[in-house]
Homo-oligomer: A and B are copies of this chain.
Amino acid sequence: MERMYTLGPEFVDVTWGAGGAQSELTLQICTTAQSVAGLETCMHLTCTNMPREKIDWALKNAKEAGIQNILALRGDPPHGHSDWQKIDTGFAYAIDLVKYIREQYGDYFCIGVAGYPENHIENPDPEADFRHFIEKAKLADYVVTQLFYDCDIYLAWVDRVRAAGVTIPILPGIMPIQMYGGFKRMTTLSKTRVPAFIDAALEPIKDDDKAVKEYGVRLAIDMCNKLRAHGQKGFHFYCMNLEKSVRLILEGLGFVAPIEVAKPLPWNPSLAKNREKESVRPIFWRNRTRSYVLRTESWDDYPNGRWGDSRSPAYGDLDGYGVSLKFTPEEALKVWGTPKTHQEIYTLFAEFCKGNLSALPWCDNMAPESESIKSPLASVNMKGFLTINSQPAVDGIPSSDPRVGWGPKNGFVYQKAYVEFFVSPEALQKLIKKLGENPYITYYAVNKQGDLKTNVQAEGPNAVTWGVFPGQEIVQPTVVDGMSFMAWKDEAFELWNQWARIYAPGSESSKLIQSVSDTWFLMNVVNNNYRDAQAIFEIFN
């Protein structure tokens, strides 16, 4: 989702899983896309085998999550039935679902419907099929079509649809060819017409997966360009969770997301309705956005413009959402091994900084902007300061900078150098002494038990990322805040426990990691002199 975000889609689709756990999962993915990743989300909803209560439940939850787009579908036949069957209190066709949503929610939802340029495969009567589609489209807000590979068929169909009086936007469904076998199976099953030139081009390369993928990208670019020449403005890509081909297609088409739209803030703003004005967050959860969104979901309002007095609302308990590793124990063992000395742990952290380890319990990947400091960070880790979050100093770089820029054009962005790490009590004592020599350094350090050490005297938060833009107040979207740090430390220490748990109780690795969790401190350090990029690393010498 993070990677999709950078492509700047108008919206993303999540298909509907009709089963019980599947429906829950769909809603959860939609909510995450909308609230956590900040992607405008369209939730698919089918009426096959769906009692009215289930549809009510789905729509209610979608609305609560801030989702405003529904693709209303009839859906596939239930498993084991070759044919679709109407169930009691259910709906016969997608149009019934469209009508029901309008009846219940008026204009709240933007409702899409599916179009079939090559006719709906189950329908033996193409004319009746078309009439039903027109009827449905006249009640909807937009159309997205089934995939196709013959642009002429699509264009002719659009002409017919327009002639029938349908004026809403129509998005052609483009599915990049990824694998020869899959492509053949799918087009055969769905009876999709494949022009002879495509077959001819694929035949000689069908056993070369890479060449097939490359051809798929070129074909999609050609198709989109042909449709654009006929006035088509938007496209719907069937990514099937693989975004690479789509990224290459967008680049080939010259669809580069403008920086203002792609990155209004250094983090992706949530699109949940109640968070629409939120514009400030603590830096601590930068690698755990979902946890931040969940632990603050009960807040009445969210910090807007500055963190200010918003510190009073409490953070949700860890119990409320659960802290867990993103790996299974088996995967984790493979990545992190069985460290038996502190030095082996230092090495794991250092390797992560260098890009040689895919993840740590606290972070999945280094922020691209930290690329510039990965070498000094790795050294810091080898000295036993185990970093889990950091940002380099930025002294007024244009807001259009591809690496650290954000916000409207013609602005300048700033960052105070920040580093957050675990540290042994002995090293902490020496470090605090050394920090006393630099009047620009502020810090907080706390252990699992909550013993806090800080040199911060002001009550409010410290803005560590801000931007200056034409005609605006200063935008300050990221802060270091003492109260928030205390809420974050529980989560940060719990991840050590989770790590310890992948080893047998009483084993050397388990005891080592548990002892770090029990005795070390979590510390964050800000160099308030953002004009000196190196000083923050010198404190560790």
Contacts and interface: CB of A to CB of B under 8 A. Distances in A.
Interface stretch (A131-139, A341-349, A460-468): A460-468
Contacts of A468: 414, 463, 466, 528, 530
Contacts of A473: 306-308, 460-463, 476, 479
A319 to B, nearest CB: 32
B476 A472 contact: no
A336 to B, nearest CB: 35
A442 interface: yes
A396 B469 CA distance: 15
Contacts of A470: 439-440, 442, 462, 528
Interface residues of A, number: 35
- Among A409, A410, A526, the one with the most B-chain Cβ atoms within 10 Å of its Cβ is A410
Nearest to A457: B471
Interface in A526-541: 526, 528-531
Contacts of A198: none
A474 interface: yes
Interface in A409-466: 409-410, 412, 414, 439-440, 442, 456-458, 460-463, 466
A234 interface: no
- Among A439, A468, A526, the one with the most B-chain Cβ atoms within 10 Å of its Cβ is A468
A206 to B, nearest CB: 53
A305 interface: yes
A378 to B, nearest CB: 28
Contact of A308 (B305, B460, B461): B305
Given A458-B472, A470-B442, A476-B474, A410 B529 contact: yes
Interface of A: 305-308, 395-396, 409-410, 412, 414, 439-440, 442, 456-458, 460-463, 466, 468-474, 476, 479, 526, 528-531
Q: Is the interface of A mostly helix, strand, loop or mixed?
A: loop
Given A306-B473, A472-B458, A528 B410 contact: yes
15 contacts: A306-B474, A307-B473, A395-B396, A439-B470, A440-B470, A458-B472, A461-B473, A462-B470, A462-B473, A463-B472, A468-B530, A469-B528, A471-B526, A473-B476, A474-B474
A306 B473 CA distance: 8
A409 B528 CA distance: 12
Contacts of A529: 410
A470 B440 CA distance: 6
Q: Which 9 A-B pairs have the closest CB atoms?
A: A470-B528, A442-B471, A474-B474, A463-B473, A462-B471, A456-B471, A458-B471, A410-B439, A463-B474
Contacts of A471: 442, 456-458, 462, 526, 528
Given A307-B473, A308-B473, A460-B473, 15 more contacts: A306-B473, A396-B531, A410-B440, A414-B468, A442-B470, A460-B472, A462-B471, A462-B472, A462-B473, A463-B468, A463-B472, A470-B528, A471-B526, A473-B476, A474-B474
A306 B472 CA distance: 11
Contacts of A526: 471
